[in-house]
Amino acid sequence: ACRALVDELEWEIAQVDPRKTIQMGSFRINPDGSQSVVEVPYARSEAHLTELLERVCEKMTEYGEKVDPATHRKSYVRVISHDGTKMDLSGVKIDGDVASSLKFACESIAEEYEDELIEFLSHEADNVKDRLCSKRTDLCDHALHIPHDEL
């Protein structure tokens, strides 16, 4: 669930126009008449990330459960592609129980680790999934030992 959450957040961030900015800082006037306002990229701003965290778990309905035949370990995979291309869904279980439990897990992680998610995603960091889901939180400690697929 943690890894699916990070995948969705990174995909949403990538969809924002990199030229779009937001003003941050104080709107007070300094003694010299200037303002301490800076423009930062919107995609990785705290305001945008907070907004994404409020609605990203709705996307978990687009996931199914896949069981690795060798290890019998469950993982969650997207069953509806972002761009509409056909996906290989062999061995993927798609049902309401899977979607609702994944959504619940996503919401729990997003709430409990909101500060860490914003911290990692506000800067363009490498391996956010491993750093957050395995090293910082131990939610997916087994995942450090398996190969990763990209969305």
In a domain, 111, yes or no: yes
Span 76-133, pLDDT tens digits:
888 888 887 778 788 888 888 888 899 999 999 999 999 989 988 888 777 888 888 8
Q: Is 47 among the domain residues? A: yes
Write out pLDDT tens, residues 53-70.
Answer: 999 999 998 888 888 888
Number of other residues whose CB lies within 10 A of the CB of residue 104? 13
Domain hosting 1: range is 1-57+96-136
Residue 141 confidence (pLDDT):
63
In this prediction, residues 36-57 reach a mean pLDDT of 89
State the pTM of this model.
0.77
Quick check: is 48 in a domain?
Answer: yes
146 occurs within a structural domain: no
The DSSP code for 96 is H
- DSSP labels, 4-50: HHHHHHHHHHHTS-TT-EEEEEEEEEPTTS-EEEEEEESTTSHHHHH
Within a domain: residue 68? no
Q: Is residue 90 part of a domain?
A: no
Tally of structural domains, the chain = 1
Would you state the structure tokens that stand for residue 150, as one six-digit string? 């990209």
Rounded mean pLDDT, 4-30: 87
pLDDT in tens, 120-140: 888 877 788 888 888 777 777
CA angle 56, 105, 83 (to 5 degrees): 35
Q: 43: exposed, middle or buried (C-beta count within 10 Å: 0-12, 13-18, 19+)?
A: buried
pLDDT reported for residue 14: 92
Q: CA-to-CA distance for 55 and 51, rounded, in angstroms? A: 7
User: Does a structural domain hold residue 132?
Assistant: yes
